[in-house]
Amino acid sequence: MPRKFGEIAFTPEVQAAQSDRGSRQTYERYIANGDSGDTITPKIADFIAQLDGFYLGTVGSNGYPYIQFRGGPVGFLKVLDEKNLGFADFSGNVQYISVGNLSGNDKAFLFLMDYRHRKRIKIWGRASYLEGESELLEKLRVKDYPAPIERAMLFQVEAISENCPQHIPIRYSEAEVAAMIAPLQARIAELEKSEMV
């Protein structure tokens, strides 16, 4: 288990809950023997490159968390280096809750899900944004994607944790289902054509 994850997630209150329920010693050993878990490995970068969406968490000045789904074409969340991710922030519902929250508190969280392969990765860090044209925005721009871009979002990684697949349901996107049934549809069309002859 990654050390940095434990440092962030296992607050004194969490440690007390673990102690009360008998899991604290186990987690202390995992954390003591784990790697730092604060860099984007090639394996994690490959996982990120396959995503077409993720959840972004920020914290409001009132202390409440705010979670929002961010979607786009596959690969729009980009690995900039082993410590930084970025994405083009497309126009949305113009509530600007994430942007407003980041103006007061840059702590943020990414929840990355791959339902098809039953895998999830959690990333803690600090987020910032840059509005207007910039070199960063050009790096994050998605070629041939027509959605208007409002800003470049940058996420600096502080801790990463990969979870076990238990209880993750298998789900497929519309595009994945279409790809899976295309050979079947082609075979049906071929059979129907041969019956007409």
Instruction: Considering only the C-alpha atoms of the chain, give the largest distance between any 2 of them, rounded to a whole number of Å.
Output: 76
What tokens were used for 150? 């409002």
Torsional sign, CA 147, 72, 2, 41: negative
Per-residue pLDDT of the chain (197 residues; tens, 9 = 90+): 788 998 999 999 999 999 999 999 988 888 888 888 999 999 999 999 999 999 999 999 999 999 999 999 999 999 999 999 999 998 888 899 999 999 999 999 999 999 888 999 999 999 999 998 889 999 999 989 998 899 999 999 999 998 878 888 888 888 889 999 999 999 999 999 888 76
Residue 158 CA from chain centroid, whole number: 14
Instruction: Report the SS3 class of residue 177.
Output: helix
Contact 54, 113 (CB under 8 A): yes
The edge-to-edge listing of strands for the beta sheet with 107-114 is: 65-71, 53-59, 107-114, 119-131, 149-162, 84-90, 78-81
The per-residue pLDDT for 41 is 96
Residues 72 and 53: their CA atoms lie apart, in Å, by 6
Report the predicted TM-score, pTM, of the whole model to 2 decimal places. 0.86
